[in-house]
Amino acid sequence: MIEPLQGCGPLSQVWFVHDYIQLQFQDRTVSIFNTPQLHDPVRGIFSRESEGFCDLLVAQINQGLSDAILVEDAMFTLVFENQVRLVIPITAEAAHGPEAVEVGIWIVFNA
């Protein structure tokens, strides 16, 4: 588990803000600037543009995180307790700006 997300509690709010997404885990906010995918072990993979992506992400409210995994120069993944994964690419091709993900003062930059 990435240290800034340890003990963060369950997801409590989701905001779709213009061209990025914010997730509120009680007292911690995660801002996602690159285009993520949701991987549901039952329903499959949903890209940001897929019908059902927003509903599936919002359905994670009240789910805690079981893991947060950083694979340098590749991806940052949030794993919810129900095994749904939010995968954020952190590559130059996926970049919309220098930052890919921000968790408080902790920032993951694009490769």
Enter the tokens of residue 5.
């997300």
**Measuring CA to CA, which residue among 106, 77, 105, 72 is closest to residue 91?**
72
| For range 85-102, the mean pLDDT | 92
- C-alpha 98/C-alpha 84 separation (Å) is 27
Taken in order 94, 97, 102, 105, the sign of the CA dihedral is: positive
Number of residues assigned to the chain:
111
What does pTM read for this prediction?
0.93
The pLDDT assigned to 71 comes to: 94
**How much of the chain exceeds pLDDT 70, in percent?**
100
For 48-68, how does the pLDDT look when each residue is reduced to its tens digit (9 = 90+)? 999 999 999 999 999 999 999
Residue 6 has pLDDT above 80, yes or no: yes
Enter the tokens of residue 17.
């803000």
**Measuring CA to CA, which residue among 19, 28, 14 is closest to residue 86?**
14
Domain ranges (residues) in the chain: 3-109
